[in-house]
Amino acid sequence: MTDKIGNVWVFIEQEGGKIADVSLELVCKGKELANRLNVKTEAVIIGNNLAGSIDPLFHYGCDNVFLVESPALEPFTVLPFAEVLVKLLKQHRPNIFLVGASLKGRELAPRVASTMLAGLTADCTDLQIDDFADKVNKKSYNDKLMQIRPAFGGNIIATIVNTWQDPQMVTVREGVMKMAEPDTSRKGKTTKIKPEISVEAQVINVLKRVSEEKSIDLKKAQILVSGGYGVGSKENFKLIYDLADALGADVGASRAAVDAGWIVHDRQVGQTGVTVRPKLYIACGISGSIQHRAGMEESSKIIAVDTDPEAPIFGVAHYGIVGDLNEVIPKMIKAFKAKV
């Protein structure tokens, strides 16, 4: 007799009751995996006074939400969250547990996986279900989670499998899983939990918390004009802003431009910045390092403008303009204004 396979779980990250985008993306992906395995999609949300926040989880595909509330769980500190999750995982034994690769997710998931003696793959960019034959140990496994991630500075893509007992745990990069359309009529079950938090888990105190609200959110941009080292100077970034203004676009940048101090880090696109997927991405003076490409190559359309015909950015672009951005950008602005 084989054991019944466990459900697919998603950790729901929230701040002040607002659910993180990456968590909703993971509910959508989790639902897809659960359908493939013919199991349920369940979520765990932890904090205090959250009952009013969980409806979107059902709309995006959850069948059940574990609503874990206690004053000791607000604000977030890692030890009580880990304690709650370990208890739930041991009790319910899900097959798969998905966590967003955010700062919180990446300090929480390893702590939990270590207690569970579960394999954990960091910062995945794709997940699939497939069989796995472990040739070294001569064992084969059915319907395992293929955990796909870039490694080695993005120069290789590795497919990783957890062969020990469930849960199969991963953290998943924000912005890479597509969000489905929510079904606002969809409903599900809520399982309320009032946990006892041990004294040992409450030893860390938050003395001060300062939020520096981000005014920039490139992830929502439909059109993005990005400048790189080829822009040449801080002053010359005005050209990038001019084109963005004309097209109704937002402004992004490569790491080289951020490191040069020409533009703030919040606008950095790439592995150490944000991952974007606009309908149009215009790369100006960006050579296209693998770290940058990883953050923008899923854009629907990509235009690259660079003087070097050998620049790697042309490898991912749909339209390539080999030329000086100082001449090409004004022509773009002129052409657009003339037509609209």
Per CB under 8 A, 232 contacts other proteins:
no
Smallest gap, in angstroms, from Cβ of residue 312 to other proteins? 6
Out of 10, 84, 120, 283, point to the residue binding other proteins (CB under 8 A): 120
Distance CA 42, CA 58 (A): 9
Whose Cβ is closer to other proteins: residue 67's or residue 170's? 170
Per CB under 8 A, 78 contacts other proteins:
yes
Out of 213, 220, 235, 261, point to the residue binding other proteins (CB under 8 A): 213
The string of DSSP codes covering 235-301 is TTHHHHHHHHHHHT-EEEE-HHHHHTTSS-GGGBBSTTSB----SEEEEES----HHHHHTTTTSSE
Residue 197 phi/psi, 5-degree rounding, is -100, 130
Distance CA 86, CA 83 (A): 5
Q: What's 113's DSSP letter?
A: H
Per CB under 8 A, 339 contacts other proteins:
yes
Per CB under 8 A, 335 contacts other proteins:
yes
Residues 6+ apart with CB under 8 A from 324: 307
Per CB under 8 A, 12 contacts other proteins:
no
Out of 150, 175, 285, 295, point to the residue binding other proteins (CB under 8 A): 150
Distance of CA 12 to the CA centre of its chain: 13
Tokens of 286: 């960006």
Distance CA 164, CA 328 (A): 56
Smallest gap, in angstroms, from Cβ of residue 187 to other proteins? 30
Per CB under 8 A, 1 contacts other proteins:
no
Smallest gap, in angstroms, from Cβ of residue 190 to other proteins? 26
Per CB under 8 A, 327 contacts other proteins:
yes
Distance CA 29, CA 61 (A): 9
Per CB under 8 A, 290 contacts other proteins:
yes
Out of 104, 172, 218, 283, point to the residue binding other proteins (CB under 8 A): 104
Site string for other proteins, 25-54 (x = CB under 8 A): ------------------------------
Distance CA 236, CA 231 (A): 6
Out of 87, 92, 111, 186, point to the residue binding other proteins (CB under 8 A): 111
Smallest gap, in angstroms, from Cβ of residue 71 to other proteins? 18
Sign of the CA dihedral with 34 first, then 39, 41, and 43 last: negative
Out of 49, 51, 187, 203, point to the residue binding other proteins (CB under 8 A): 203
Dihedral class, residue 256 (left if φ above 0, else alpha if ψ from -120 to 50, else beta): alpha
Whose Cβ is closer to other proteins: residue 8's or residue 108's? 108
Out of 35, 48, 259, 315, point to the residue binding other proteins (CB under 8 A): 315
CB 101 within 8 A of CB 123: yes
Whose Cβ is closer to other proteins: residue 40's or residue 99's? 99
Per CB under 8 A, 178 contacts other proteins:
no
Per CB under 8 A, 280 contacts other proteins:
yes
Distance of CA 87 to the CA centre of its chain: 26
Smallest gap, in angstroms, from Cβ of residue 254 to other proteins? 14
Smallest gap, in angstroms, from Cβ of residue 323 to other proteins? 3
Whose Cβ is closer to other proteins: residue 164's or residue 234's? 164
- The SS3 call for residue 204 is coil
Distance CA 55, CA 147 (A): 29
Whose Cβ is closer to other proteins: residue 1's or residue 340's? 340
Distance CA 168, CA 102 (A): 18
Out of 16, 35, 134, 234, point to the residue binding other proteins (CB under 8 A): 134
Out of 38, 184, 211, 233, point to the residue binding other proteins (CB under 8 A): 211
